[in-house]
Chain A
Amino acid sequence: AQSVTQLDSQVPVFEEAPVELRCNYSSSVSVYLFWYVQYPNQGLQLLLKYLSGSTLVESINGFEAEFNKSQTSFHLRKPSVHISDTAEYFCAAQISGGYNKLIFGAGTRLAVHP
């Protein structure tokens, strides 16, 4: 069965520090990988995605994620976080075929402190 594992439920970090949110997936077939962000009292928004090609993908607000097939990982990183990055981050995998449904990880709460 396909699954997505986010190893850290909470990540506290100081402003301007680097951060890495970890994500591993398990699947025997090709997957598409996504990171979604959920700000307080808002719906989920796409942060970035990996479909194919370059294994390093970037978002418009400074986040990046690297697809590592051998380690089945898709970790999210940012070199310098802001207070406004405080949110819940969800890693998700989409298994191609069928209805292309998303399988979500448990989420990581990123708390940026001044």
Chain B
Amino acid sequence: GAVVSQHPSWVICKSGTSVKIECRSLDFQATTMFWYRQFPKQSLMLMATSNEGSKATYEQGVEKDKFLINHASLTLSTLTVTSAHPEDSSFYICSATLGQAGTEAFFGQGTRLTVV
């Protein structure tokens, strides 16, 4: 299957700093990428839908200015957690699809963010 690479796999940052997470589709072009947040022992919560060349679509309750998403090319989307606080500590996961309904979503390995 297709490969989605997410980097870094884990990061520790100080409160107040910003952290960037990259999501790359390695062997296919992803028009649409999704960003999720997963709390311990809980499901994936969709944060936003990232579309190449346009603004991301955020889910209700997700702060746009806090979680900046950029989809600069068909193979790269980035999530920047700005002015991170301990409550932002979580597992962040990206996924990419080939676009058509019913097609498989391919997931990155996830990024464990710890804000101290």
* B-binding residues in A (CB < 8 A): 9, 32, 34, 36, 42-46, 49, 51, 90, 94, 96-97, 99-107, 109
| A49 and B32 alpha carbons, distance in the complex (Å) | 20
Which residue in A43, A101, A106 is a CB contact (below 8 Å) of B108?
A43
Q: Say how far B70's CB is from chain A's closest CB, in angstroms.
A: 17
Which residue in B1, B6, B34, B110 is a CB contact (below 8 Å) of A102?
B34
CB <8 Å contact, B107 and A100? no
| A105 and B44 alpha carbons, distance in the complex (Å) | 8
B1-18 interface code vs A (CB 8 A; 1 in, 0 out): 100101000000000000
Which residue in A97, A106, A107 is a CB contact (below 8 Å) of B101?
A97
CB <8 Å contact, A46 and B32? no
CB <8 Å contact, B110 and A96? no
Which residue in chain B gives the minimum CB-CB distance to A32?
B102
CB of B68 within 8 Å of the partner chain: no
Which residue in chain A gives the minimum CB-CB distance to B103?
A100
